[in-house]
Structure 1
Amino acid sequence: MGTGKRGLLMMAVTVVCAVTVLAAPGTAFAAPSPSPTPSASPSSSPTPVSNKELEEVRKKLEKLYHSAAVATDQYNAAEEAAEKQSAEIVSLAKKIVRGQEKLAELKERAGSAAAAQYRLGGLPDEAKLMLSDDPRTFLDGAGRVIQGQRATKGLLAEMTRTQQDLEQYSRDASAQWQKLEAGRKAKAAAQKKIEKQIKAAEQLESQLEKEQLERLKKLEEEAAYKAQTAWLDSGALKDVKGKASEQGRKAVKYAGAQLGKPYEWGAEGPKTYDCSGLTSQAWASAGSGIPRTSQEQWKQLKRIDIKDMRPGDLIIYNDDASHVAMYIGGGAIIHAPRPGRTVTVAGAGSMPILGVVRPDA
């Protein structure tokens, strides 16, 4: 292999392939075989990189960033779960404190009752009643005995329930803590994978000259345009005439105001976003809380036919629901594409559509 730019490119592709295989066991991406070239002299010009070779780079970048997107969803899901689990642990801790205070109060009441009985000579009410010769006193005493027995039983039952509640709260808190720890490990593993995939992609791109990077971006745009054209030619938008709801208009307005802001995995704004961070915050601004990740948005929100799509609806992409965008009408979307890109407008059919969901169904 020569020492020109083509040689550097092929070497970078090979390195990235190795990183990808390590990051995703069972999936291999073969590096293109370079054509034999004569040894380059110090004065020779770099061998031009063909569009075919750049297309190979584009496809590998697409796979790397897709893998990073999947890991980002895993990271976001772990973070969302951790927030809920932490809140639950705090809530349980408060319940335990209140339960302990209540149990202490009940024990104090029981102690007071025992002390009062001791001061009266230690005879229980039942014994005093049996020693009474006055019928009226006997009848009045009988009523008090029954009330006292009920009160004692009630006090003991309440103490038992409070103790049981405390034990259950403690078990629940322990379980939530274990989940929190497991979530932290999952989050750390996802973060490691994200960083590895993005680093590999950046290393690959760093091997290209400025002119080659511009050609690579052009190839990305051409691939997106080709997919969008095929989608439109299929008649997918033929019957799409839905108008945005009031909430949908607010969500679209929010998303539009973020145009040009950088993509950052795990980010929910206001300066940077990932794909589901943008859509979830847009709908939060419209007064409708939705799941944080694209996969959960796909699972939990109402699914609708493309023909019924309206601005504000979310389009979920890829078989694994690893990307999401907001439909804004006219066959267009707003989305946060990937690292190195900014929030932008694109064709709704420029990526493989899994389906459409509606947050305000």
Structure 2
Amino acid sequence: MGRGRRGLVAVAVTVVCAVTVLGAPGTAFAHAGNTSGPDPSPSTPASASPTPPPDKELEAVRARLDALYHQAALATDAYNAAEEKAQRQSAELVELAGKIVETRQRLDALKDRAGAAARQQYRTGGLPPAARLVLSDDPRQFLDGASLIAQGERAAGGLIEETVRAQQDLKQYSADASAHWRELEANRKAKAAAKQKVEKQVAEAEQLESRLEKEQRERLAELERQAAAEAQTAWLDSGALDEVKGKASTEGEQAVRYATGQLGKPYEWGAEGPRTYDCSGLTFQAWAHAGHPIPRTSQEQWKQLHHVDVADMRPGDLVIYFADASHVGMYIGDGKVVHAPRPGRTVTVTGAGSMPILGVVRPDA
């Protein structure tokens, strides 16, 4: 077994142990220097397993929370994408419905014209125009009538062609509307499934955190800050920002101003302001207020927006995190991003390198 596999096994065992401890009713983590309760008996075997240090247990909890919130972030992106698609499909359905109504009105008008022509023919004795022309004794009337007949035949042919086109349009619009409706229904189911997954992951994470005592929650938050600081320091030490000197565009400045104006507002999955945000909801609204709409989700922002090198990064650019593009923050300069972290947190500023960077995209490239 290689070193990597042994490491994975060790981490898995640690997490399982931590979750088992947490699962016991009324169980709290051990505190360093805790002397409450009876002293151990001298007969206690020397080989008895010692209580793991608190930080080790809390690190296992932090790893589990990170995994749960990461899965929630992925499900949130799926929900947001489904919501955006549903809005687009609904708008298309409304447009198609308008075209169907308009085409039906056009068909009714064509039918009225055809009916008027039939009634006119009935009033003239039912003879076709060409037959009435042949029976005329007046040569001048014959010549004038021939021109009128040609015009009438062209009009009748045009009426038939227009009617056929209208019928074909109506058939196509109706088929498109049916297809859009089926897609909308399927998308609603996908959105409901994503919503259920988000709620499940967040509820499990919140339940896990609720079992911690106050001191343990504070220590857990401190461990999170330490891990972020260490990652940021390592990123800066790598020289990643040595060449970063780009200045924000006018739109980028507006986006940064909006995003930093939301500091302290709570995270809420699926939210895009003005009181709460998720990560991509914050960047989406910031660039919308800058007059430059962008995709709603971090994954679509990564797919659709222009990619730039970290060395060319400038304020207003979006930093996409994790291999699955499940998180996004906005670069504001000096190696920092503003972002909406996760449930239970608020919009805040943190080091751009505090999380694994997938890449950088520029909305106004």
- 1:348 aligns to what? 352
Contact 1:13 1:57 in 2 (8 A): no
Aligned mates of 1:283, 1:41 — CA distance in 2? 56
Q: Match for 1:11 among 15, 20, 23?
A: 20
- 1:101 aligns to what? 105
Q: Match for 2:57 among 53, 59, 64?
A: 53
- 1:139 aligns to what? 143
Q: Match for 2:312 among 308, 315, 338?
A: 308
Equivalent pairs, count: 332
Aligned mates of 2:293, 2:333 — CA distance in 1? 22
Residue by residue, what CA displacement relative to the aligned partner does 1:203-244 show, whole Å, maximum 9, x if unpaired? 111111111111100110111111111111111111111111
Q: CA RMSD in A?
A: 2.2
Q: Structure 1 residue 298: deviation in Å? A: 0.6
Give yes or no for the alignment of 1:120 onto 2:124: yes
Q: Structure 1 residue 133: deviation in Å? A: 3.2
Stretches of structure 2 lacking an aligned partner (at least 5 in a row): 1-15, 41-50
Aligned-partner SS, 1:260: coil
- 1:290 aligns to what? 294
- 1:195 aligns to what? 199
**One-letter amino acid of the counterpart of residue 161, structure 1:** R
Residue by residue, what CA displacement relative to the aligned partner does 1:100-150 show, whole Å, maximum 9, x if unpaired? 111111100110111011111111111112222333222211111110011
Q: Structure 1 residue 9: deviation in Å? A: 5.5
The 3 A distance-change label for structure 1 pair 49 and 272 is farther
Q: Match for 1:71 among 71, 75, 85?
A: 75
Aligned mates of 2:22, 2:187 — CA distance in 1? 34
Contact 1:264 1:339 in 2 (8 A): yes
The 3 A distance-change label for structure 1 pair 95 and 300 is same
**One-letter amino acid of the counterpart of residue 121, structure 2:** Q
Give yes or no for the alignment of 1:260 onto 2:264: yes
Aligned mates of 1:49, 1:141 — CA distance in 2? 108
Aligned mates of 2:90, 2:55 — CA distance in 1? 51
Contact 2:22 2:211 in 1 (8 A): no
Give yes or no for the alignment of 1:241 onto 2:245: yes
Stretches of structure 1 lacking an aligned partner (at least 5 in a row): 1-6, 16-33
Moved more, 125-134 or 93-102: 125-134
The 3 A distance-change label for structure 1 pair 43 and 89 is farther
Aligned-partner SS, 1:327: strand
Aligned-partner SS, 1:354: strand
- 1:299 aligns to what? 303
Aligned-partner SS, 2:296: coil
- 1:148 aligns to what? 152
Contact 2:308 2:360 in 1 (8 A): yes
- 2:133 aligns to what? 129
Residue by residue, what CA displacement relative to the aligned partner does 1:28-85 show, whole Å, maximum 9, x if unpaired? xxxxxx99xxxx997789x785211111111110010000000000000000000011
Aligned-partner SS, 1:115: helix
Aligned mates of 1:49, 1:344 — CA distance in 2? 31
Q: TM-score, normalised by structure 2?
A: 0.87
**One-letter amino acid of the counterpart of residue 80, structure 1:** E
Aligned mates of 1:217, 1:87 — CA distance in 2? 44
Q: TM-score, normalised by structure 1?
A: 0.88
